A and B are shown apart, each in its own frame.
Chain A
Amino acid sequence: MNENELMDGLRELRGGEPREAPRHVEERLLAEFRKRSGRRQTAWWQAGVIGAIAAGIAALVWLAGVTANRAPHTVAELRPEAAVLESVAEEDTSDFYPLPAAEALPAVETAMVVRVELPMSSLRLMGYPVNEEPSGEPVQADVLLGQDGLARGVRVVE
């Protein structure tokens, strides 16, 4: 045998081999592919549910914020969870006018600000310095509440 005969023989070998893998190989692979795709779809489905829950929570938080910012409210109408504007540190409470009754209360450790609507006359009764003549028109005010829920200060919202 020489090299040419060898090369012819090798080419012939290719023709003599089976051309296809048996059918059951395809079936096994297809079953495996479906199993993996199923797992992938389940993962997407789970991610979707988690995403939907997260979006729901975000929407609730946003709605609470919108409700809290929606003014005016009377004190009686305020729901505690909707009225909370922000939690503030003690040092951030300096622009509140201290209420006379608050002097006897414990120092503020954790404060909350609640936006309410009050008649100007009520502010004056609290000792808030009001220059204008009291009118019947209500004004928006932020009330500073201490950790015990008792009012410590007030400020008028411009």
Chain B
Amino acid sequence: MLDSPSHSDDDLLRLLSEGNEEAFLEFYRRHQGVVYRFGLQMSGKTEIAEEVTQDVFMTLMSAAKNYDLKRGSVPAYLYGIARNFVLRSIEREKPYLTVLDDPEREYASRLAGDQDTLGDLTRNEKLESLRKAVLALPPAYREVVVLCDVNELDYAEAASMLGCAVGTIRSRLHRARALLIEKMRAAERCTA
């Protein structure tokens, strides 16, 4: 039994690595949302998000001892594991994804004729267009937008998680935002 109602993540990781089921459940319930949403925001598919959530926490069952507090927060650690599974899933599902995802081609021009984003762009439709636009970003841009802009992770944490410099995060974000604005403007022009 866990005596205290709120254990630190560190304690929970230690306990769950010793086979404590309650610690595992508490840790899972505390962090599953972050992992699930990340999977969903990166893939746009609930089945991938579920699979990623499952894979991340299964990895944690055997690798909880590897977590080092000095190297970043628990959410950043989980994002790091989740990211590997997400990218693998995206790669695997690439031929079946409906949204084009080719970094070699000009992003805005690909979607200029996308009829799904036409029509009256009500607030919800605008959000839906934005969601699709994010999903259509190349993965390297998509992950920085999802981490920093959608989930408000700080740049340093994102950089440590992705194993790159803070400057790289900034430049990818800058480029990603430009692509998104271009896409959304193209969609607006089409409805005008």
Contact = CB atoms under 8 A, between A and B. Distances in A.
A13 B58 CA distance: 28
Contacts of A125: none
Contacts of B180: 6
Contacts of B184: 1, 6, 9
A36 to B, nearest CB: 6
A147 to B, nearest CB: 54
Contact of A1 (B19, B49, B152, B185): B185
Interface string A1-34: 1110011011111101111111001101110111
Q: Interface residues of A: mostly helix, strand, loop or mixed?
A: helix
Given A11-B150, A41-B19, A21 B134 contact: no
A7 B152 CA distance: 11
A70 interface: no
Contacts of A16: 127, 131
A36 B40 CA distance: 28
B41 A3 contact: no
A79 interface: no
B102 interface: no
Interface string B70-89: 00000000000000000000
A37 interface: yes
Nearest to B149: A10
B85 to A, nearest CB: 13
Contacts, number: 91
Nearest to A22: B50
B151 interface: yes
Contacts of A11: 149-150, 152
Of the four ranges (under 10, 10 to 19, 20 to 34, 35 or more), the interface on chain A belongs to 20 to 34
Contacts of B25: 26, 30
A7 B184 CA distance: 12
A37 B32 contact: no
A6 B177 contact: yes
A124 interface: no
Of the four ranges (under 10, 10 to 19, 20 to 34, 35 or more), the interface on chain B belongs to 35 or more
Contacts of B145: 10
B50 A6 contact: no
Given A10-B149, A25-B32, A18 B37 contact: yes
Contacts of A28: 54
Interface in B105-155: 126-127, 130-131, 134, 145, 149-152
B174 to A, nearest CB: 10
A10 B180 CA distance: 10
Nearest to B188: A1
Given A7-B149, A13-B150, A32-B58, A21 B33 contact: yes
Closest 4 CB pairs of A and B: A21-B36, A37-B19, A1-B184, A10-B149
26 contacts: A1-B184, A1-B185, A6-B130, A6-B181, A7-B149, A9-B126, A9-B184, A10-B149, A11-B150, A11-B152, A13-B134, A14-B152, A16-B127, A18-B37, A18-B40, A21-B33, A22-B46, A25-B50, A25-B53, A29-B28, A29-B57, A29-B58, A32-B61, A36-B19, A37-B19, A40-B19
Given A14-B151, A20-B33, A30-B21, 5 more contacts: A10-B145, A18-B37, A21-B32, A28-B54, A41-B19
